[in-house]
Amino acid sequence: MRDIEFRGVYKGRWKYGYLYQDNILGGILIQEKNISYGIDPGTVGQYTGLKDKNGVKIYEGDIVKQSDYIFEVLPLEAGSFSLRVVSRKYRDSIYNFFALNEKVEVLGNIHDNPELLLKEQANE
């Protein structure tokens, strides 16, 4: 069974843990080490349950590389994570996330490193 974990940005810093909505205070919060943080909802990403070749956890919104291909990890949908190709002639093709092998590497994410996507598209 995989760990259910989320991440989101609070005041410019990533927080990791349990995600919940607070109906009294309003907003989405992440509980990390018994402290709750109101996070930017646009930065929420769920842990996929997999790690890259360096042991780094892979989340929705991460930009990963395998061989010569760059992918964006898409949100969980219909019980599965997917990848969108952002490089090469297969750009915008969607693949099942679990088709990746252990050689995948996290390069960054769409929030902190959007230039990775733009750079890759400019190279085409």
Structure confidence by residue, pLDDT tens digits, 33-84: 999 999 999 999 999 988 899 999 999 999 999 888 889 999 887 677 888 8
b (16+ CB within 10 A) / e for 46-61 = bbbebebeeeebbbbb
pTM: 0.85
Whether the pLDDT of residue 123 is over 70: the answer is no
Residue 18 has a pLDDT of: 94
The domain spans of the chain are: 1-43, 49-124
Place of tokens 């990848």: 83
d(CA 52, CA 43): 21
> Which CATH number is 49-124 given?
2.30.30.290
d(CA 36, CA 26): 13
The residue with greater pLDDT, 19 or 93, is: 19
